[in-house]
Amino acid sequence: MSDALDIVVRLLAVFVAFLVLPLVVGQTEHKVMAHMQGRLGPMYAGGFHGWAQLVADGVKFAQKEDIVPAGADRRVFQLAPAVGLLPYLLVLAAIPIGPRNAVGQSLDAGLFFVLAVMGVGVLGSIMAGWASANKFSLLGGLRTAAQLLAYELPMLLAAASVAMAAGTLSLPGILDSFHWWWVPWQLIGAVVFFVAGLAELQRPPFDMPVADSEIIFGAYTEYTGLRFALFLLAEYAGIVVLCALTSVLFLGGWHGPFGADGLGWLWTLLKTAVLAFLIIWLRVTYPRLREDQLQKLAWTVLIPLALVQIALTGVVKVVTS
Protein backbone atom coordinates (compact mmCIF):
# COMPACT_ATOMS: atom_id res chain seq x y z
CA MET A 1 0.00 0.00 0.00
CA SER A 2 2.83 2.37 0.81
CA ASP A 3 4.21 1.69 -2.67
CA ALA A 4 1.02 2.98 -4.24
CA LEU A 5 1.05 5.99 -1.91
CA ASP A 6 4.67 6.66 -2.86
CA ILE A 7 3.77 6.66 -6.57
CA VAL A 8 0.79 8.95 -6.01
CA VAL A 9 2.90 11.43 -4.01
CA ARG A 10 5.61 11.46 -6.69
CA LEU A 11 3.13 11.98 -9.51
CA LEU A 12 1.41 14.76 -7.57
CA ALA A 13 4.76 16.46 -6.96
CA VAL A 14 5.64 16.27 -10.65
CA PHE A 15 2.21 17.61 -11.59
CA VAL A 16 2.46 20.53 -9.17
CA ALA A 17 5.93 21.35 -10.49
CA PHE A 18 4.54 21.18 -14.01
CA LEU A 19 1.78 23.65 -13.11
CA VAL A 20 3.91 26.05 -11.07
CA LEU A 21 7.39 26.27 -12.63
CA PRO A 22 6.33 27.32 -16.18
CA LEU A 23 4.18 30.08 -14.70
CA VAL A 24 7.09 31.28 -12.58
CA VAL A 25 9.24 31.41 -15.71
CA GLY A 26 6.48 33.28 -17.53
CA GLN A 27 6.15 35.84 -14.74
CA THR A 28 9.92 36.26 -14.61
CA GLU A 29 10.00 36.82 -18.34
CA HIS A 30 7.40 39.59 -18.04
CA LYS A 31 9.39 41.37 -15.39
CA VAL A 32 12.89 40.83 -16.78
CA MET A 33 11.85 41.97 -20.24
CA ALA A 34 10.04 44.95 -18.75
CA HIS A 35 13.20 46.03 -16.95
CA MET A 36 15.60 45.34 -19.79
CA GLN A 37 13.56 47.02 -22.52
CA GLY A 38 11.77 49.67 -20.49
CA ARG A 39 8.34 48.17 -21.17
CA LEU A 40 5.65 49.86 -19.12
CA GLY A 41 2.71 47.52 -19.77
CA PRO A 42 3.68 44.53 -17.62
CA MET A 43 4.51 46.80 -14.64
CA TYR A 44 1.00 48.19 -14.14
CA ALA A 45 -1.60 45.55 -13.30
CA GLY A 46 -2.27 45.02 -9.59
CA GLY A 47 -0.12 47.80 -8.21
CA PHE A 48 3.31 46.80 -6.91
CA HIS A 49 5.57 45.87 -9.83
CA GLY A 50 2.56 44.67 -11.83
CA TRP A 51 2.33 41.41 -9.89
CA ALA A 52 -1.16 40.63 -11.23
CA GLN A 53 -0.22 40.72 -14.93
CA LEU A 54 -0.03 36.94 -15.22
CA VAL A 55 -3.39 36.49 -13.48
CA ALA A 56 -4.91 39.03 -15.84
CA ASP A 57 -3.45 37.17 -18.82
CA GLY A 58 -4.93 33.91 -17.56
CA VAL A 59 -8.37 35.45 -17.12
CA LYS A 60 -8.14 37.00 -20.58
CA PHE A 61 -7.28 33.66 -22.21
CA ALA A 62 -10.06 31.85 -20.36
CA GLN A 63 -12.66 34.41 -21.46
CA LYS A 64 -11.80 34.37 -25.15
CA GLU A 65 -13.92 32.38 -27.57
CA ASP A 66 -12.45 29.10 -28.74
CA ILE A 67 -12.53 29.37 -32.54
CA VAL A 68 -11.87 26.63 -35.06
CA PRO A 69 -11.50 28.01 -38.60
CA ALA A 70 -14.13 26.76 -41.07
CA GLY A 71 -11.60 25.23 -43.44
CA ALA A 72 -9.53 23.60 -40.71
CA ASP A 73 -9.18 19.92 -40.00
CA ARG A 74 -11.22 20.04 -36.83
CA ARG A 75 -9.95 17.08 -34.85
CA VAL A 76 -6.26 17.53 -35.60
CA PHE A 77 -6.59 21.28 -34.92
CA GLN A 78 -8.09 20.63 -31.50
CA LEU A 79 -5.74 17.81 -30.61
CA ALA A 80 -2.53 19.70 -31.47
CA PRO A 81 -2.17 21.77 -28.22
CA ALA A 82 -2.41 18.61 -26.12
CA VAL A 83 0.22 16.87 -28.25
CA GLY A 84 2.43 19.93 -27.84
CA LEU A 85 2.07 20.16 -24.06
CA LEU A 86 1.81 16.63 -22.65
CA PRO A 87 5.31 15.39 -23.59
CA TYR A 88 6.89 18.01 -21.32
CA LEU A 89 4.82 16.69 -18.40
CA LEU A 90 6.16 13.20 -19.08
CA VAL A 91 9.74 14.48 -19.37
CA LEU A 92 9.51 16.36 -16.09
CA ALA A 93 8.74 13.06 -14.34
CA ALA A 94 12.12 11.64 -15.33
CA ILE A 95 14.36 14.54 -14.26
CA PRO A 96 16.02 14.02 -10.87
CA ILE A 97 15.97 17.02 -8.59
CA GLY A 98 17.96 15.73 -5.62
CA PRO A 99 20.06 12.78 -4.47
CA ARG A 100 18.63 9.53 -3.05
CA ASN A 101 15.94 8.87 -5.63
CA ALA A 102 14.29 12.32 -5.57
CA VAL A 103 12.88 11.81 -9.04
CA GLY A 104 9.38 11.22 -10.36
CA GLN A 105 10.28 7.94 -12.01
CA SER A 106 13.81 6.63 -12.27
CA LEU A 107 14.37 5.14 -15.72
CA ASP A 108 17.16 2.90 -16.92
CA ALA A 109 17.44 4.77 -20.23
CA GLY A 110 16.22 8.09 -18.87
CA LEU A 111 18.39 10.22 -21.16
CA PHE A 112 16.92 8.54 -24.24
CA PHE A 113 13.42 8.82 -22.84
CA VAL A 114 13.80 12.54 -22.21
CA LEU A 115 15.20 13.35 -25.66
CA ALA A 116 12.72 11.09 -27.46
CA VAL A 117 9.65 12.51 -25.77
CA MET A 118 10.85 16.12 -26.17
CA GLY A 119 11.00 15.51 -29.91
CA VAL A 120 7.38 14.34 -29.88
CA GLY A 121 6.28 17.71 -28.50
CA VAL A 122 7.27 19.40 -31.74
CA LEU A 123 4.77 17.17 -33.53
CA GLY A 124 2.05 19.32 -31.93
CA SER A 125 3.33 22.45 -33.70
CA ILE A 126 3.53 20.62 -37.03
CA MET A 127 -0.02 19.31 -36.61
CA ALA A 128 -1.24 22.80 -35.70
CA GLY A 129 0.50 24.31 -38.72
CA TRP A 130 -1.04 21.86 -41.13
CA ALA A 131 -4.55 21.70 -39.65
CA SER A 132 -5.12 25.48 -39.51
CA ALA A 133 -5.84 25.79 -43.26
CA ASN A 134 -3.71 28.91 -43.35
CA LYS A 135 -0.64 29.49 -45.53
CA PHE A 136 1.25 31.27 -42.78
CA SER A 137 0.53 28.43 -40.38
CA LEU A 138 1.69 25.89 -42.94
CA LEU A 139 4.93 27.83 -43.44
CA GLY A 140 5.39 27.94 -39.68
CA GLY A 141 4.81 24.18 -39.47
CA LEU A 142 7.34 23.56 -42.24
CA ARG A 143 9.94 25.71 -40.54
CA THR A 144 9.28 23.91 -37.26
CA ALA A 145 9.85 20.54 -38.92
CA ALA A 146 13.03 21.71 -40.68
CA GLN A 147 14.33 23.15 -37.43
CA LEU A 148 13.62 19.96 -35.49
CA LEU A 149 15.38 17.85 -38.10
CA ALA A 150 18.41 20.12 -38.05
CA TYR A 151 18.82 20.55 -34.31
CA GLU A 152 17.87 17.09 -33.05
CA LEU A 153 21.21 15.70 -34.21
CA PRO A 154 23.62 18.06 -32.37
CA MET A 155 21.44 17.79 -29.26
CA LEU A 156 21.65 14.00 -29.33
CA LEU A 157 25.39 14.00 -30.00
CA ALA A 158 26.05 16.41 -27.11
CA ALA A 159 23.91 14.27 -24.79
CA ALA A 160 25.71 11.14 -26.01
CA SER A 161 29.00 12.69 -24.92
CA VAL A 162 27.76 12.95 -21.33
CA ALA A 163 26.43 9.42 -21.44
CA MET A 164 29.86 8.24 -22.60
CA ALA A 165 31.56 10.13 -19.79
CA ALA A 166 29.26 8.66 -17.14
CA GLY A 167 28.94 5.21 -18.66
CA THR A 168 25.20 5.15 -18.14
CA LEU A 169 22.01 6.49 -19.71
CA SER A 170 20.19 6.90 -16.41
CA LEU A 171 19.90 10.53 -15.32
CA PRO A 172 20.42 9.88 -11.58
CA GLY A 173 23.29 7.56 -12.60
CA ILE A 174 24.94 10.35 -14.58
CA LEU A 175 24.72 12.65 -11.57
CA ASP A 176 26.05 9.98 -9.23
CA SER A 177 29.28 9.76 -11.22
CA PHE A 178 29.64 13.53 -11.64
CA HIS A 179 32.85 15.34 -10.68
CA TRP A 180 33.45 19.08 -10.79
CA TRP A 181 35.99 18.81 -13.64
CA TRP A 182 33.23 17.50 -15.89
CA VAL A 183 32.04 21.08 -16.31
CA PRO A 184 35.14 22.29 -18.23
CA TRP A 185 35.52 18.87 -19.87
CA GLN A 186 31.97 18.89 -21.29
CA LEU A 187 31.79 22.65 -21.88
CA ILE A 188 31.52 22.48 -25.68
CA GLY A 189 28.81 19.83 -25.38
CA ALA A 190 26.95 21.98 -22.86
CA VAL A 191 26.88 24.98 -25.20
CA VAL A 192 25.83 22.84 -28.17
CA PHE A 193 23.09 21.15 -26.13
CA PHE A 194 21.73 24.41 -24.78
CA VAL A 195 21.73 26.18 -28.15
CA ALA A 196 20.16 23.21 -29.93
CA GLY A 197 17.55 22.98 -27.18
CA LEU A 198 16.74 26.67 -27.59
CA ALA A 199 16.26 26.08 -31.30
CA GLU A 200 14.04 23.07 -30.65
CA LEU A 201 11.87 25.22 -28.38
CA GLN A 202 11.77 27.91 -31.08
CA ARG A 203 12.85 30.55 -28.64
CA PRO A 204 14.54 33.74 -29.86
CA PRO A 205 16.99 34.05 -31.55
CA PHE A 206 15.77 30.83 -33.16
CA ASP A 207 12.09 31.77 -33.45
CA MET A 208 11.90 31.72 -37.23
CA PRO A 209 8.89 29.32 -37.15
CA VAL A 210 6.82 31.94 -35.29
CA ALA A 211 8.46 35.03 -36.78
CA ASP A 212 5.66 37.51 -36.13
CA SER A 213 6.89 40.13 -38.59
CA GLU A 214 6.66 37.81 -41.58
CA ILE A 215 4.33 34.85 -40.91
CA ILE A 216 2.10 36.39 -38.20
CA PHE A 217 2.57 33.73 -35.51
CA GLY A 218 3.49 30.65 -37.50
CA ALA A 219 1.66 27.49 -36.61
CA TYR A 220 -0.32 29.20 -33.82
CA THR A 221 -1.81 31.98 -35.98
CA GLU A 222 -5.36 30.60 -35.95
CA TYR A 223 -5.45 29.66 -32.28
CA THR A 224 -7.41 31.60 -29.68
CA GLY A 225 -8.25 31.45 -26.01
CA LEU A 226 -7.25 28.45 -23.94
CA ARG A 227 -5.80 26.42 -26.80
CA PHE A 228 -3.39 29.26 -27.58
CA ALA A 229 -2.59 29.52 -23.87
CA LEU A 230 -1.75 25.80 -23.88
CA PHE A 231 0.81 26.38 -26.63
CA LEU A 232 2.32 29.25 -24.63
CA LEU A 233 2.39 27.03 -21.56
CA ALA A 234 4.15 24.35 -23.61
CA GLU A 235 6.83 26.88 -24.51
CA TYR A 236 7.46 27.77 -20.86
CA ALA A 237 7.31 24.13 -19.79
CA GLY A 238 9.87 23.50 -22.51
CA ILE A 239 12.14 26.18 -21.02
CA VAL A 240 11.88 24.54 -17.60
CA VAL A 241 12.64 21.10 -19.03
CA LEU A 242 15.56 22.30 -21.13
CA CYS A 243 17.15 24.24 -18.24
CA ALA A 244 16.65 21.39 -15.80
CA LEU A 245 18.14 18.94 -18.28
CA THR A 246 21.14 21.13 -19.02
CA SER A 247 21.84 21.59 -15.34
CA VAL A 248 21.49 17.84 -14.71
CA LEU A 249 23.63 16.76 -17.65
CA PHE A 250 26.33 19.42 -17.72
CA LEU A 251 26.29 21.46 -14.51
CA GLY A 252 26.10 18.72 -11.94
CA GLY A 253 22.46 19.01 -10.90
CA TRP A 254 22.26 18.57 -7.15
CA HIS A 255 26.04 18.86 -6.60
CA GLY A 256 27.19 22.16 -5.15
CA PRO A 257 30.14 23.63 -3.30
CA PHE A 258 28.37 23.21 0.06
CA GLY A 259 25.16 21.92 1.56
CA ALA A 260 25.54 18.39 0.22
CA ASP A 261 23.04 17.04 2.73
CA GLY A 262 19.44 17.99 2.21
CA LEU A 263 20.03 21.04 0.04
CA GLY A 264 20.66 19.22 -3.24
CA TRP A 265 17.26 20.08 -4.66
CA LEU A 266 17.99 23.76 -4.04
CA TRP A 267 21.11 23.57 -6.22
CA THR A 268 19.13 21.98 -9.04
CA LEU A 269 16.46 24.65 -8.84
CA LEU A 270 19.05 27.43 -8.62
CA LYS A 271 20.95 26.25 -11.71
CA THR A 272 17.67 25.82 -13.59
CA ALA A 273 16.60 29.33 -12.64
CA VAL A 274 19.89 30.88 -13.76
CA LEU A 275 19.66 29.12 -17.12
CA ALA A 276 16.03 30.20 -17.52
CA PHE A 277 17.11 33.78 -16.86
CA LEU A 278 19.77 33.33 -19.55
CA ILE A 279 17.10 32.22 -22.03
CA ILE A 280 15.01 35.31 -21.30
CA TRP A 281 18.10 37.48 -21.55
CA LEU A 282 18.89 36.01 -24.98
CA ARG A 283 15.37 36.83 -26.11
CA VAL A 284 15.69 40.52 -25.34
CA THR A 285 19.26 40.75 -26.62
CA TYR A 286 19.61 39.00 -29.96
CA PRO A 287 17.78 39.61 -33.23
CA ARG A 288 16.14 36.69 -34.99
CA LEU A 289 18.29 34.51 -37.23
CA ARG A 290 17.22 34.10 -40.85
CA GLU A 291 15.99 30.65 -41.88
CA ASP A 292 19.12 29.84 -43.90
CA GLN A 293 21.42 31.13 -41.14
CA LEU A 294 19.51 28.90 -38.77
CA GLN A 295 20.10 25.79 -40.88
CA LYS A 296 23.69 26.74 -41.52
CA LEU A 297 24.42 27.16 -37.82
CA ALA A 298 23.11 23.66 -37.10
CA TRP A 299 24.82 21.78 -39.91
CA THR A 300 28.13 23.62 -40.16
CA VAL A 301 28.82 24.76 -36.59
CA LEU A 302 26.92 22.77 -33.98
CA ILE A 303 27.28 19.27 -35.43
CA PRO A 304 31.07 19.54 -35.96
CA LEU A 305 31.40 21.00 -32.45
CA ALA A 306 29.37 18.14 -31.02
CA LEU A 307 31.58 15.63 -32.85
CA VAL A 308 34.70 17.35 -31.47
CA GLN A 309 33.21 17.04 -27.98
CA ILE A 310 32.54 13.34 -28.49
CA ALA A 311 36.12 12.79 -29.67
CA LEU A 312 37.44 14.72 -26.67
CA THR A 313 35.26 12.71 -24.30
CA GLY A 314 36.42 9.45 -25.86
CA VAL A 315 40.12 10.39 -25.65
CA VAL A 316 39.92 11.54 -22.03
CA LYS A 317 37.89 8.48 -21.11
CA VAL A 318 40.42 6.10 -22.64
CA VAL A 319 43.42 7.94 -21.17
CA THR A 320 42.05 8.10 -17.62
CA SER A 321 40.67 4.56 -17.41
What residues make contact with another protein under the rule CB under 8 A?
Answer: 71-73, 76, 107-109, 112-113, 115-117, 119-120, 122-123, 126-127, 129-131, 133-135, 138-139, 141-142, 145-146, 148-150, 152, 156, 168-169, 291-292, 294-296, 299
In the complex with another protein, which residue's Cβ is closer, 35 or 290?
Answer: 290
Q: Which is nearer to another protein, 14 or 297 (CB)?
A: 297
Task: Provide the greatest CA pair distance for the chain.
Answer: 64
Does an H or E element contain 32, and which?
A: helix 2-37
Collapsed DSSP state (helix, strand, coil) of residue 102 = strand
Shortest distance, CB of residue 200 to another protein, whole angstroms? Answer: 11
Is residue 147 a contact partner of residue 202, using CB atoms and an 8 Å limit? yes
Smallest distance, Å, CB 112 to another protein?
Answer: 4
Nearest distance in Å: CB 108, another protein: 5
Nearer to another protein, 150 or 211 (CB): 150
Give bridge partners of residue 98 from the DSSP assignment: 102
- As measured in angstroms, the least distance from the Cβ of 148 to another protein is 6
Residue placing its CB nearer to another protein in the complex, 220 or 267: 220
Residues in Cβ contact with 103 at an 8 Å cutoff, skipping those fewer than 6 apart: 93, 94, 95, 96, 97, 171, 172
The Cα–Cα gap between 132 and 130 comes to 6
Spatial separation of the C-alpha atoms in residues 110 and 122, rounded to whole Å: 19
How distant is the alpha carbon of residue 50 from its chain centre? 26
Residue placing its CB nearer to another protein in the complex, 60 or 74? 74
Q: Are 186 and 164 in contact (CB under 8 A)?
A: no
Q: How far is the CB of 115 from another protein (least distance, A)?
A: 6
Least distance between another protein and beta carbon 119 (Å): 3
- Pick between residue 35 and residue 135 the one whose CB is nearest to another protein: 135
